[in-house]
Structure 1
Amino acid sequence: MVASRTPGSLGLAILAMVGVVAASNYLVQFPFHPFGLQDLLTWGAFTYPVAFLVTDLTNRKFGPQAARLVVLAGFAIAVVLSIWLATPRIAIASGSAFLVAQMLDIFIFNRLRRDAWWKAPLTSSFLGSIIDTVIFFGLSFAATFALLDTGFGITPDAFPADHAPLLGFAGLEAPRWISWAVGDYLVKMLVSLFVLAPYRMMRSRSDALNAAAAA
């Protein structure tokens, strides 16, 4: 059952979305050095999947129209914050990837919302993350799009040509940003699995509150 939305309830969702995206845009600039994984991951991989949790919970409780409103509002505010926290290029890449991936997430979730409880959030997050990763890392770091900006904390002209072992396999090298993209996507999948637990708990609590209100 879709609940009626209020400005306050959507405001909380928008605030959560802005926080997640702005934090992810800042953290994606920093390699994940623990365990020697700096060639595979950035810190942003651990925070960004929470954006799909926010979208899916909003979609579940208030419907796709409200979820799109949260995405659009979060997108506009987060891009402005990202220009300040990161760089214009990161902000453009993040905004483009975020908007396409989240709208895809809403569409897929809505199509699967009546299936098993885990299928809609997991499928929409997995597919949305693929699109998000390809668009974001391509626009952020590929030499083809260098005209968007130059500053992401490393020598911009040298960075795209900098190679690293793909997923740590010696002899299998790719530009470092591709290695980051693959590693980030794999971590996003793991985080998406972990956030199923809070999704399930929040979904059950929301359903219980809706049932009590209808009684």
Structure 2
Amino acid sequence: MTRTYLPGILAMAAIVVASNILVQFLFGQWLTWGAFTYPLAFLVTDVMNRVYGKDAARRVVLVGFVVGLVCSLIGTQIMGEFGPLVTLRIAIGSGVAFLVAQLVDVAIFSALRDGTWWRAPLASTLVSSTLDTLLFFSISFSGVLSFLHPATDVSWAAEMLPLLGSGPLAPLWVSLAVADWSVKLGIALIALIPFRIITAQLLTRS
């Protein structure tokens, strides 16, 4: 690690910590406040990739992964009203989803980096955000993967309800995933503005 990467490292760590805290607080019926901070991790990764290259981006991702593991470990030790704040399945889902999605983001961005300025960050974030949502919610709540930790009760997530309150019947966790994915897509579009501004300033300085 070098001092050059320190702002990116600190930003990623702050986002991961904040998201792990804010995920405990509901926003409406389908979301938590963490859904609005977590997608910023993709912005940090893309900025690092654009300015310093894919190796720097991967280093920042690994730091975020380690910080996330520590947060999950702490969460498993804190007891809430219905048990640990973080179950083993959620810890596994969170770690796998973050690492895989972020590394895919780095790979896609690197492949498209020579095109129009917005194409690499938008395409990489859209694909990796979708992958992140699929991995996290399926690993954490799908009944098909209950063998990961049979002691974790996720029966509540399998309750059949109208999708997002008005669509076809689907397990509750699918509505949670769709809502989370929608926020990620929206932030991916909005994040193009700070991406353009931040990268322009950093590239000018360098």
Which of 165, 168, 174 pairs up with 2:165? 168
**Counterpart of 1:12?**
7
AA matched with 2:182 = L
Cα-to-partner distance string for 1:132-170 (whole Å, 9 max, x where unaligned): 00000111111233443766xxxx353133222213325
Rate the CA distance shift 1:150–1:161 in 2: closer, same or farther, 3 A.
same
The 5-angstrom pairing of residues 44-123 of structure 1 reads 44-85=34-75, 86-87=85-86, 88-123=88-123
> Which one has a larger percent strand, Structure 1 or Structure 2?
2
Q: How far off its partner does 1:30 sit?
A: 4.3
**Counterpart of 1:207?**
203
Q: Name the CA distance, whole Å, in 2 between partners of 1:55 and 1:198.
A: 13
Root-mean-square deviation (CA, aligned residues, Å) is 2.0
Q: Secondary structure at the match of 1:164?
A: strand
Q: Name the CA distance, whole Å, in 1 between partners of 2:198 and 2:47.
A: 8
Cα-to-partner distance string for 1:60-83 (whole Å, 9 max, x where unaligned): 111001111111122012211122
Q: Name the CA distance, whole Å, in 1 between partners of 2:145 and 2:26.
A: 21
Gaps of 5+ in 2: 76-84
Q: Secondary structure at the match of 2:31?
A: coil
* Larger RCO (alpha carbons 8 Å, 6+ apart): 1
Q: Secondary structure at the match of 1:115?
A: coil
> What TM-score, normalized by structure 1, do the two folds share?
0.82
Cα-to-partner distance string for 1:5-60 (whole Å, 9 max, x where unaligned): x6223233222212222332343454422xxxx1x333332111101001001111
Conservation of the 8 A alpha-carbon contact between 1:41 and 1:181:
no
**Counterpart of 1:142?**
142
Rate the CA distance shift 1:41–1:26 in 2: closer, same or farther, 3 A.
same
Count the aligned residue pairs.
Answer: 195
Q: How far off its partner does 1:204 sit?
A: 1.1
**Counterpart of 1:180?**
176
Q: Name the CA distance, whole Å, in 1 between partners of 2:154 and 2:124.
A: 36
Gaps of 5+ in 1: 1-5, 211-215
Rate the CA distance shift 1:150–1:42 in 2: closer, same or farther, 3 A.
farther
Conservation of the 8 A alpha-carbon contact between 2:54 and 2:110:
yes
Cα-to-partner distance string for 1:188-214 (whole Å, 9 max, x where unaligned): 10011111111111011012112xxxx
| Identical positions, percent | 47
Q: Name the CA distance, whole Å, in 2 between partners of 1:71 and 1:204.
A: 22
Q: Which runs of 4+ in 1 moved over 4 A?
A: none
Q: Name the CA distance, whole Å, in 1 between partners of 2:93 and 2:74.
A: 14
